[in-house]
A = this chain, B = another copy of it.
Amino acid sequence: MQHGRHGDTPPTLLYVVGRVNQGIRREMRKRLVQWDLSIPEYTALSVLHGRPGLSNAQLARRSMIAPQSMIEVLAGLEDRDLVRRAADPAHARILRAELTDEGHELLEAVQPSVDSIEDQLLAAVPGRQRETTLKVLVRAMDRLASGLDDSASEAE
């Protein structure tokens, strides 16, 4: 389930984001299964397509998960030859990842099915509102990335 809030009172952002996310995940899982891709796998492919050369640690930070979680995803993709990793010439400890040709092909094949989810969700939403929504969420994302403090239980 997700984080919640009441009924007639307007729903909170926390609540709605949780619900929408849950719905999106269900839909994605359903569509990705035929390509034998999990959601984290698809996401990693998608991010690496746009940002080739990210390390495991960088990917993890972007996704707000622990590097230990991300590494499993990456390892799986590497095993399937969808992703290739090579040491940074300037820093042997860092392994920079990028899609293989096969990875690109798969991503291209899957993309439309996933993109159509977003199209359907936003079908009736004017462009301006889409932009506002995206902007607000990106801001929230940044806040979360830089870390919050618990102002409520601090007071003790």
The smallest beta-carbon distance between A109 and chain B, in angstroms, is 10
Query: Interface residues of A, CB < 8 Å — how many?
Result: 84
The CA of A4 and the CA of B141, in the complex, are separated in Å by 14
Q: Which residue of B lies closest to A40 (CB)?
A: B1
Total identical chains = 2
Contact status A5-B50, CB under 8 Å? yes
Chain A 16-53 against B: per-residue CB contact (8 Å), 1 yes, 0 no?
11111111111110110010000110111111011100
Query: Which secondary structure dominates chain A's binding surface?
Result: helix
Contact status A31-B153, CB under 8 Å? yes
Partner of A3, one of B3, B112, B114: B114
A6 in contact with B124 given A17-B137, A137-B16 (CB within 8 Å)? no
